[in-house]
């Protein structure tokens, strides 16, 4: 499987890194990056590994840590990374992205 990052995924990933840089030590940032890389590796092998978040649009969610999740979907050959979501945000607004 090939991994494709949407512009929204790139922006929200970067936003999470900026937040971490302002508020947390370097070790937390390194752990976040490592966890994302680990999830991407898992998705390349088995994109069905994480649960469906929204069945109708086939969006899945992968927990990165207790504060952040990665949303994605896949087809035959491509896993599309859609969004990184901070759990402190209003969950109702999450539906606006899909």
Asked whether the predicted pLDDT for residue 93 surpasses 90, the reply is: no
According to the model, what pLDDT value does residue 89 have? 81
According to the model, what pLDDT value does residue 18 have? 96
According to the model, what pLDDT value does residue 35 have? 97
Task: Give the whole-angstrom CA distance, residue 62 versus residue 70.
Answer: 5
Which residues 6+ apart lie within 8 Å of 3 measured at CB? 40, 43, 44, 78, 79, 81
Q: Indicate the fold that domain 2-90 takes in CATH.
A: YaeB-like fold (3.30.2310)
Task: List Cα–Cα distances, 62 to 25, 66, 85, in angstroms.
Answer: 24, 11, 10
pTM: 0.91
Render pLDDT for 48-68 as a digit per residue (tens, 0 to 9).
Answer: 999 999 888 899 999 999 999
In the chain, where are the structural domains located? Answer: 2-90
């Amino acid at each position: 499987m090939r991994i494709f990052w949407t512009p929204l995924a790139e922006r929200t990933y970067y936003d999470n890194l900026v937040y971490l840089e302002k508020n947390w030590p370097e070790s937390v940032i390194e752990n976040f990056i490592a966890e994302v890389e680990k999830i991407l590796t898992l998705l390349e092998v088995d994109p069905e590994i994480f649960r469906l978040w929204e069945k109708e649009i086939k969006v899945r969610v992968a927990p990165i840590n207790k504060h952040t999740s990665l949303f994605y979907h896949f087809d035959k050959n491509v896993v599309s990374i859609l969004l990184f979501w901070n759990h402190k945000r209003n969950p109702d607004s999450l539906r606006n992205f899909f």
